[in-house]
């Protein structure tokens, strides 16, 4: 099918878009900071949330951190302690205080963060309707390995003609190559392809760079100046077609 605006295929991000955590790790982090008497203003919370999106969008910082902790015996713990330090700075803590508190924050989240995984309301119905209408549907994730089994558990695999993990092509969003490969698998042109994702830095910057039509899923309006169509619920996607 071709929509009135020329869209033939629609690609979706996974984590943060069609796979959500309740509660969010950022909320647990922020609440713990408040419990320790660290003052958090709305601007601090917003700045840290935007920074976290940037960091995990294959940023130079996360690349350096992955390399730094790659061969350490306590690689995972060290990485997350360093992440906690970075995030404490993002919420406004001085560097020395962030370094001091980081191990405590990392341990708190490791012990207390046990989120429930769920699919956002309206997403299965949207996917079913899009598939029935004849759109080519694909999923593109910055995961290192294929994730089809997880999609089966979420009840989403049946909707997608293909899935693509960044590790399969050694290209991570916002790199253009992963989007080029996704368009190739869809069998459409970039201009005929819509991409829906929650991370401005990975999903919107990357898909726009590759010539796709980006749509930001932003239910809390974290990026009001995205410069592209924004949806806060999945039933709004159909209106963009």
pLDDT digits (tens, 9 = 90+) for 157-209: 999 999 999 999 999 999 999 999 999 999 999 999 999 999 999 999 999 99
Whether the CA torsion 90, 95, 98, 102 is positive or negative: it is: positive
Q: Which pLDDT does position 69 carry in this prediction?
A: 86
Residue 87 lies in a domain: yes
Q: Which domain holds residue 223?
A: 9-21+118-240
Q: Are residues 103 and 149 in the same domain?
A: no
Domain total of the chain: 2
Q: How far apart are CA 183 and CA 58, in angstroms?
A: 20
Strands 20-22 and 116-118: antiparallel
Residue at 2 is within a domain: no
**Mean pLDDT, residues 37-53:** 95
Give the closest residue to 90 by CA, choosing from 143, 46, 126, 125: 46
* Domain limit, last residue, from 97, 112, 127: 112
Query: CA 75 to CA 52: how far, in whole Å?
Result: 20
Give pLDDT, residue 72: 58
In a domain, 135, yes or no: yes
- Label residue 4 by pLDDT band (50, 70, 90): confident
């Amino acid at each position: 099918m071709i929509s009135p605006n020329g869209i033939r295929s629609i690609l979706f991000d996974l984590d943060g878009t069609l796979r959500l955590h309740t509660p969010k790790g950022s909320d647990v982090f922020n609440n713990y900071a408040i419990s320790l008497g660290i003052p958090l203003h709305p601007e601090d919370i917003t700045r840290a949330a935007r920074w976290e999106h940037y960091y995990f969008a294959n940023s130079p910082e996360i690349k350096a951190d992955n390399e730094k902790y790659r061969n350490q015996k306590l690689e995972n713990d060290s990485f997350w302690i360093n992440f906690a330090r970075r995030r404490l700075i993002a919420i406004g803590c001085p560097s020395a205080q962030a370094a001091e508190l980081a191990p405590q924050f990392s341990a708190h989240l490791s012990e207390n963060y046990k989120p429930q995984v769920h699919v956002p309301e309206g997403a299965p119905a949207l996917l079913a309707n899009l598939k029935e209408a004849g759109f080519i549907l694909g999923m593109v994730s910055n995961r290192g390995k294929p994730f089809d089994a997880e999609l089966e558990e979420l009840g989403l695999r049946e909707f997608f003609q293909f899935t693509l993990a960044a590790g399969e092509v050694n290209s991570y969003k916002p790199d253009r190559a992963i989007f080029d490969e996704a368009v190739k698998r869809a069998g459409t042109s970039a201009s005929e392809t819509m991409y829906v994702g929650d991370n401005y830095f990975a999903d919107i910057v990357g898909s726009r760079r590759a010539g796709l039509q980006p749509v930001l899923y932003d239910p809390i309006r974290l990026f009001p100046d995205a410069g592209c169509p924004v949806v806060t619920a999945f039933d709004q996607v159909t209106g963009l077609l």
